[in-house]
Amino acid sequence: MTEFLTVEGGQLAYDVTGEGPLMVLAHGMGVGRQSFRFLVPELVAAGFRVATTDLRGHGESSLDWPSYTRADVADDLLALVRHLGGPAVLVGHSFAGGAVTIAAAQAPELVSAVVEIGPFTRAQKIDGGGLLRNAHHRKGALLLLGAAFLRNIGMWKKYLDHAMPGAKPADHAEHIAALEADLRRPGRMAVVSKMGQSAPTDAGDRLPDLTRDVLVVMGTLDPDWADPRAEAEGVVAAMPAGRGRVAMIEGAGHYPHTQFPAQVAAEVLSFVKGRVHA
């Protein structure tokens, strides 16, 4: 059941399932909390209280926020943790991977551990050689940039299809149709554009400040990078020594939690064991 939390600038839509230690899941730009629809049952079955939220400007959350940065989303997530009674494991995908990094550095007392899935958490550099060598990466980058800068829903749908190579869930077509209907509402693609053009330097600057352990989950076929493992390892290398670790999901693209929820859940649960107590 959708609930709403009023924070400075608007309202956040969220839902909570299960009992136990709190996990808060935050999706990437241009999708919604339903992107975690297969991961949530796995975490709930393992004994967690799981909250999923629509980012500002997405889904059932309100529109017309003053800005849409990772730091803004970090503040939103911390407000939700306070409201639900933390601390919480923060799980952030893509854009929100940077947001949970900022949140953990900003308020470690509210965060027990961090999971970043396919995260944009540090400044990105154009890899010309990678674009030339890796056609999968080249196509993904062009579709992602085109959707963000042109606010083109058709290109965004093509990106989502490309970003889940191979295995797709049985309800994929239905899910994308619902997502398209949401993004056609006035102002929604403008939010995607603003987030897509928001550099993750605010998150990268906080990586050295982390005092909570971090798991970076990356698909081996994530088209957003020419070398997904190298990107994941680069994020970990910017943290204090021993703070982060990497888990690669074989055959997954940018949405491993949608394509391979059982494998992602296994990695997350193994990681939080000993770090989270009921």
User: Considering just the CA atoms, what is the radius of gyration of the chain in Å?
Assistant: 17
Segment 67-77, tens digit of pLDDT: 999 999 999 99
Mean pLDDT, range 236-255, rounded to an integer? 97
Class of the CATH domain delimited by 3-126+198-272: alpha beta
Asked whether residue 90 carries a pLDDT value surpassing 70, the answer given is yes
Q: Are the CB atoms for 105 and 267 separated by under 8 Å?
A: no
For residue 36, the model assigns a pLDDT of 98
The CA distance from 21 to 29, in Å, is 26
* CA neighbor of 111 nearest in space, from 182, 196, 32, 210: 210
Of the two residues 145 and 208, the one the predictor is more confident about is 208
Beginning with the edge strand found earlier in the chain, give each strand of the sheet holding 214-219 in spatial order: 3-7, 10-17, 49-53, 22-26, 88-93, 111-117, 214-219, 244-249
Segment 45-54, tens digit of pLDDT: 999 999 999 9
* CA neighbor of 140 nearest in space, from 259, 251, 31, 221: 221
Beta strands in the chain (DSSP E): 3-7, 10-17, 22-26, 49-53, 88-93, 111-117, 214-219, 244-249
For residue 4, the model assigns a pLDDT of 98
DSSP type of residue 166: S
Q: Are the CB atoms for 121 and 207 separated by under 8 Å?
A: yes
Asked whether residue 35 carries a pLDDT value surpassing 70, the answer given is yes
Maximal CA-CA distance, the chain: 49
